[in-house]
Amino acid sequence: MNLAPWRSILARSLYKSRNLRESRYFQLATVTPEGYPKNRTVVFRDFLEQSNQIKIITDSRSEKIEQIEAKNWGEICWYFSKTREQFRMGGELTLVGASYPDEDLQKARLQTWQNISDAARMQFAWPTPKTARVEDTEPFSSPTPDPTMPLDTFILVLLNPQVVDYLTLRGNPQNRTIYRLTGEEVWEVQEVNP
């Protein structure tokens, strides 16, 4: 597997911002079945091994799931304030849930579950997101989930970038590059006006 040409640039941005927690957050946009945009902040959970796919985790009961099931395309918008760079990455989304058939992706799901904190795992046992809050703390204090066995609500989301729009505010004029996947591991790279 060849790393996509934008990977080294993103790796450098991540490295330079390694002590800024928020540099590992980005916005993930999807569309509703009615065609409206929806976005939300999520955590970068690294790349899937031997691939350019970006790992995100989410709850099977969250609204983004039905949006992705209806239209499996998403766009990430990621700004690195320290280096003043923006990456917008569009691509297909894959939902790897408990019954996803691919063995390697199941392994990746399990490994990701094992790598997150107890506090993060606990959230997957919380009551259903966006249902009315009941003033009772009991439902939020279920036992700590087994770190070796992902809960069914735990979904590994993969975004496979096909278009990357990289903008760096450094320089006057600023610099912008478009990377487009045009074939199996073939990327077209074009410098464009900012």
Ligand X SMILES: Cc1cc2nc3c(=O)[nH]c(=O)nc-3n(C[C@H](O)[C@H](O)[C@H](O)COP(=O)(O)O)c2cc1C
Sites of contact with ligand X (CB under 6 A): 25, 38, 40-43, 56-59, 62-64, 129
| Least spacing, CB of residue 64 vs ligand X, in Å | 3
CA angle 194, 159, 89 (to 5 degrees): 0
Distance CA(95)–CA(97), nearest Å, equals 6
| Least spacing, CB of residue 57 vs ligand X, in Å | 6
| Least spacing, CB of residue 186 vs ligand X, in Å | 31
| Least spacing, CB of residue 183 vs ligand X, in Å | 31
Alpha carbon separation from 148 to 12, 95, 109, 114 (Å, rounded): 33, 20, 11, 6
Distance CA(160)–CA(149), nearest Å, equals 26
| Least spacing, CB of residue 103 vs ligand X, in Å | 24
Nearest to ligand X of 54, 56 (CB atom): 56
Nearest to ligand X of 8, 128 (CB atom): 128
Alpha carbon separation from 3 to 50, 55, 186, 194 (Å, rounded): 8, 16, 10, 25
Nearest to ligand X of 131, 193 (CB atom): 131
Backbone angles phi, psi at 176, to 5 degrees: -135, 135
Q: What amino acid occupies position 2?
A: N
Nearest to ligand X of 156, 179 (CB atom): 156
Nearest to ligand X of 40, 170 (CB atom): 40
| Least spacing, CB of residue 63 vs ligand X, in Å | 4
List CB contacts of 74: < 8 A, sequence separation 6 or more.
28, 29, 30, 68, 90, 91, 93, 159
Alpha carbon separation from 16 to 7, 89, 118, 137, 174 (Å, rounded): 14, 20, 28, 40, 19
Nearest to ligand X of 14, 43 (CB atom): 43
